[in-house]
Chains A and B, each alone.
Chain A
C-alpha cells in the first residue's frame, strides 16, 4: 500500500481546478449543429436534385430522409455518451443507433416491396459510396477530435457510431443531391456500405480513441 499512498499524494498535489467536460447532450447538439451546417454548405455548393419539390410529396422519400436524419441524430448522441467512461449512465440511449438502423433498414425493405414502378438502375455504382465516404471525412475528423478530449471506455463502439454519424451526413447529402430513384441502387451503394463503415469504425476507434 506504500506505493499507492505515494501515488495518491502525488496525484493530489497535481489536483487543480478542473472544468467538467460538456454535458453529452450539449456535445451531441454541437455535433448535430456542425453536421447540419456542413450539409447545408455542401448542398448550397453542389445544389439540390432538380425534382426535390416533387420528391418531397412522396411519402417513402420523406420517410427515408427522416429516418436518415434520425440515424444521424441518434449516432451523434450515442457517440457523445460513449465519450464518458460510464456512458453518462444512460446505456439505453447509447444503444439507440441499433434500433434506428433496424428501423431504417425495415423502411428501405418496405420501400423496395411497395415500389410498383422500379426506376432504372443508374450507370454508375461504386462512385456513390466513394462520394459519400469522401464527404464523410470532415464530420468524421471533428467527431473523433471531439471524442479524443473525453475518456471512452468503449472506444471501438465509439469509433463505430462516430463513423456512422459522419457517413449518414454524406448519405443525406447524396440523397438530396443525386437524381436517382432506383431503390436497388440506393440500398446497395448508399446504405449497405454503412455496415462496412461500422466495422471500419471499430478498428479506427481502437486506433484513435484508446487512452
Chain B
C-alpha cells in the first residue's frame, strides 16, 4: 500500500517498478507542487490546467530519464520550465500573428457601437462561451461600465491588449449572432 506522505523519490522508484498506485500519488503530488509555480506565471486558471496536463504527459514520457537516485524536484521543475517556455513562445507568437491594425480596430469598434442594437444582457450567454479572458473583458466593459484603460489596470494587461482582445471577442460574437 502506498503511503500518501512518501517522498517523491521513493514514489518514483516504486512507479518505475510498475506500481500504478504510487505513480498516481506521485503525479497528483507533482501537480500540487507545480500549480503555484505555474499560477504565478500565467494569468488564467484554464491556462494553468492546460499546461499542467501537458507537463504531466511530458513527465510520463520522460520518466525513463529519472533513475530514482537523484532529487526528483529539480527533474520535474526542469520539465515544467521547458513546457512553460514552449507554451509562452506559442502564446506570444499567436498574439503577434493575430495582431490587429489599430486604424481598422477603431473603425470596427465604431461600427459595432452604432450598428448594434443589442444589450450586454441579451447576449450574455454567448459572451460566457468566449475564452475566459475575453469574456471577463466584455463583462467589465459592457456590464460594469469600465473603460478599456480601467480594465487594463484591473487585469494587469496593457490598454492595447485589452482593446485587441475585445475586438476579437466582438468579431466572434458578430459571427455567432449573424448565423
Contact = CB atoms under 8 A, between A and B. Distances in A.
Interface in B42-67: 49, 52-53, 56-58, 60-67
B interface, by DSSP: helix, strand, loop or mixed?
A: helix
Interface residues of A, number: 30
A18 interface: yes
A4 B50 CA distance: 9
B121 to A, nearest CB: 30
Contact of A18 (B20, B31, B63, B78): B63
Contacts, number: 90
Contact of A12 (B27, B61, B68, B75): B27
The main secondary structure of chain A at its interface with chain B is loop
A12 B2 CA distance: 13
A85 B82 contact: yes
A150 B65 contact: yes
Interface residues of B, number: 36
A18 B70 contact: no
Contacts of B67: 20-21, 23
A13 B20 contact: yes
Given A4-B53, A20-B16, A85 B60 contact: no
B139 interface: no
Interface of A: 1, 3-5, 7-9, 11-21, 23, 83-89, 150-151, 153, 211
